[in-house]
Amino acid sequence: MEGSNYKEEIAEILIDIQSIKFSFKNPFILTSGLKSPVYVDCRKIISFVKERNIILNYTKNYFDENKIEFDLLAGGETAGIPYAAMLSEQLQKKMIYVRKKPKGFGKNQQIEGDFQKGQKAILIEDLATDGGSKVIFIKAMRKAGLTVEDIFVIFYYNIFNFTKSHLFDLKVKIHFLCTWKDIISVIEKKKLYDGGDIANLNYFLSNPEDWRTKYA
């Protein structure tokens, strides 16, 4: 893995399989009700065997090169579960998964799988915006006696001030393979959109709230 080459290769994969979609004239409506010219759906990767294997190999290399050590891979409900399962197989490491809330019946468990107190887990997810949604998983694992210091995602927005996020407060480091910077680099190199659309995208990414007042 050298420099940004692998990042742009992954960015190109995400664009090619339409995990990242653009709609500049008719913005997407997000689950929050807010409008956005982009929509990211990394869950689609599981359907593309060749592409997902490339991503899994880069993930393994990332862990090795950055000397990230852990006992368990923890998939976050629901998008993180298949990635954790595939990585578990490739790395030959145990896997667990974490619900957003206890299931409400039976043992009322929030974490499924075999683990021991004191073991170190890395949370696996498909993507992260500011990382705030991961707090539920981290707190649940720590409450169960696991050590959690790292999160890994395929795609990280990287447009928010991380030092203000809940993850910073929890002293958790977020690891990722690519960001919007890499997506935009591929778009510009391959001339997928005109300069006006790219400027519009950069405006949204630099100031989403201001963009919405003008375009949405």
CATH number at residue 150: 3.40.50.2020
Segment 157-194, tens digit of pLDDT: 888 776 557 788 899 999 999 999 999 999 999 999 88
Residue 176 belongs to what H/E stretch? strand 173-179
Residue 108: pLDDT band (50, 70, 90) is confident
CB atoms within 10 A of CB 31: 5
CB 15 within 8 A of CB 56: no
E-assigned strand segments in 23-169: 28-29, 35-36, 38-40, 72-76, 94-98, 111-112, 120-128, 147-156
pTM summary value:
0.91
> How many domains does the chain contain in total?
1
Domain that holds residue 41: 5-215
